[in-house]
Amino acid sequence: MDKDSAIKSLLEEAAETRWEIGQEFHDKLSESIYQNAAHIADRTVIKEGQKENFNIDRTIDSIVTSPIWGFPIMFCVLAVVLWLTIIGSNYPSQFLAFLLLDNAYEWLRAFAIDLGTPWWLNGFLIDGVFLSLAWVISVMLPPMAIFFPLFTILEDLGYLPRIAFNLDALFRKSGAHGKQALTMSMGFGCNAAGVIATRIIDSPRERLIAIITNNFSLCNGRWPTQILLGTIFIGQMVPDSYQSLVSTASVIGVALLGIGLTFASSWALSKTFLKGEVSSFTLELPPYRKPRILQTIYTSLIDRTLIVLWRACVFAAPAGAVIWLVCNITIGDTSIANHLIYLMDNFGLLIGLNGVILLAYVLAIPANEIVIPTILMLTVMTAPITGYGSGDGVMFELDSLGNTHEVLVAGGWTLLTAINVMLFSLIHNPCSTTIYTIYKETNSVRWTTLASIGPVILGFIVCFVVAQVYYML
């Protein structure tokens, strides 16, 4: 008998046997494997000190999952992590900006002028590519380098699964998994990292929900936009003594709106597009253990921070080039950027934004970090205001909040514009790094498209409604 027919007859025999042993077979197999394993373990494994560890674990568990202390502890931990990230990253961010934007950039320009390279090459490479890279690195690296290690330490401690355990009932109502609490928190650091983190959810439907809705977690690249606009527009509405309170409240309000949208869209997805995906639930609660701090910092820097940063850079570099090019290539008398702004302006105003903002969001798809610098640059380029910025296609940011306010108002900004930019910053497409990551994780054009286009449409609707209500008032 030759090989092929031997295999064939074997397969037939297998199919026949499968029919004969019936449907219960898998159960019996698992049962016997466990029996066997338990039998071997009883004979060979010596247990020492397990009882004490077990009791300590139970004590901690009874505190962190208690009806009284469970939630306060959780919110405190999350608040501390976010506070450390936002406040703590200011200093290294400023230092990197000083190094890369103030010094290296000027030095490169001077060097290029000495070298005598043509202006368009300098513009393309230094004002375009280098500047956007520098921006992304200086804004993105510090928060990630603080947030990810903190998060990984909590993970290593064994605390994170308890958060999922505490919050699962809330997520269950919207058709999601309790572990989405963790990927959502991770999204506050970076949506791309949040999407990668959904690997901890083993149920296909709930994992897709977590991936598609992660964008509603306000990421690091968007916090500065919120804080800036909250301070210079929203805070301005009230007397000085309430300013910081009101501006903080507006930023937190946007973040909370994001959480609300996460639940709402999770629910909607589970009832519509994802209805047919397989769903299951199990949540393992591993024993607590001492975190390995150094190892944690090392791996979270390498595995999460640098990978995400690298992906961001890969997308930001060409984006910088494109930004510079659309501002400096002219068709007729005006630059491409001006044409585009003119085209989008009416639609922009209809939804309480403007052409500059829309173009900035298109150009800044690679990184939310460069939205505000791009808006400022485009505003100075088109609005009747002089004395700011350093030329077309060169992104910049202003040290003084008053000056930023002045530039934006010259660009036609009102309170409505600020509110809608804050909303649109929360509800728009994910950055290209995240889109790419979603594609990698789902391996599906369909879900990637839904995750990318869905939020933009929702953002337009929300801004439109807010604008109409505002005009009516």
Partner 1 sequence: MGIKNWLNTLLLKRVDQSIIEEDVLKYLYKNEEKNKTSNFQSINNELVFSEEQIDKSIQQLIKNQSIVNSNQSLLLEEKGRTTAIKLIRRHRIYEKYLSEKTGFSKSSWHHKAEEMEHALTDEEVNLMSKELGNPQFDPHGDPIPTKDGQLPKLKGITLSKIEHNCTVKVLHIEDEPKRVYKSIIKQGLHIGSIMTINFTSSVYATEGHALNFNKKDLENITVQVLKEEEEIPKGIVRLSLLKKGEKAVITGLSSECRGINRRRLLDLGFVKGSKISINMVSPLSDPTAYLIRETLIALRKEQTDMILIKKINNDAE
Q: Contact positions toward partner 1, by CB under 8 A?
A: 15, 18-19, 22-23, 26-27, 30-31, 34-35, 38, 58, 61-62, 65-67, 70-71, 165-170, 172, 178, 202-205, 274-286
Q: How far is the CB of 61 from partner 1 (least distance, A)?
A: 6
Query: What are the distances in angstroms from CA 267 to CA 203, 284, 371, 438?
Result: 16, 24, 30, 20
Q: How far is CA 139 from the centre of its chain?
A: 14
* Distance (Å) of CA 370 to CA 112, 286, 320, 425: 24, 41, 9, 12
**What is the nearest approach in angstroms of partner 1 to the Cβ of residue 162?**
9
Q: How far is the CB of 44 from partner 1 (least distance, A)?
A: 15
Nearer to partner 1, 280 or 346 (CB): 280
57 vs 397, beta carbon nearer partner 1: 57
**Could you give the angle at the alpha carbon of 81 between the alpha carbons of 80 and 86, nearest 5°?**
100
CB of 328 to partner 1, least distance (A): 52
SS3 (DSSP) at 116: coil
Q: Which is nearer to partner 1, 155 or 168 (CB)?
A: 168
User: Do the Cβ atoms of 64 and 162 come closer than 8 Å?
Assistant: yes
Of 203 and 335, which has the nearer Cβ to partner 1? Answer: 203
Q: Between 209 and 234, whose beta carbon lies closer to partner 1?
A: 209
Long-range contacts of 354-359 (CB under 8 A, 24+ apart): 354/411, 354/412, 354/413, 354/417, 356/382, 356/411, 357/417, 357/421, 357/424
Q: How far is the C-alpha of 147 from the C-alpha of 432, rounded, in Å?
A: 21
Q: How far is the CB of 10 from partner 1 (least distance, A)?
A: 16
**Smallest gap from residue 174 Cβ to partner 1 (A):** 13
| Alpha carbon distance 75, 49 (integer Å) | 33
Q: Which is nearer to partner 1, 77 or 362 (CB)?
A: 77
* 357 HSE (CA, 13 A, CB side): 27
Q: How far is the CB of 28 from partner 1 (least distance, A)?
A: 9
Calpha distance 140→313 (Å, rounded): 10
Q: How far is the CB of 279 from partner 1 (least distance, A)?
A: 4
CB of 178 to partner 1, least distance (A): 7
Q: Measure CA of the first residue to CA of the last residue in the chain; give whole Å.
A: 88
Minimum distance from CB of 30 to partner 1 (Å)?
Answer: 4
Q: Of 128 and 178, which CB lies nearer to partner 1 in the complex structure?
A: 178
Comparing CB distances to partner 1, the nearer of 168 and 369 is: 168
Contact 217, 262 (CB under 8 A): yes
Least separation in angstroms between CB 282 and partner 1: 5
Residue 412: CA count within 13 A, CB half-sphere? 15
Q: Is 179 exposed, middle or buried (0-12, 13-18, 19+ CB in 10 A)?
A: buried
Q: Is the CB of residue 190 less than 8 Å from the CB of residue 308?
A: yes
Indicate the residue among 38 and 40 with the shorter CB distance to partner 1.
Answer: 38
Please say which residue, 33 or 453, places its beta carbon nearer to partner 1: 33
38 or 469: CB nearest partner 1: 38
Cα separation values, 27 from 13, 30, 33, Å: 21, 5, 10
Distances (CA, A) of 24 to 18, 20, 27, 31: 10, 11, 6, 11
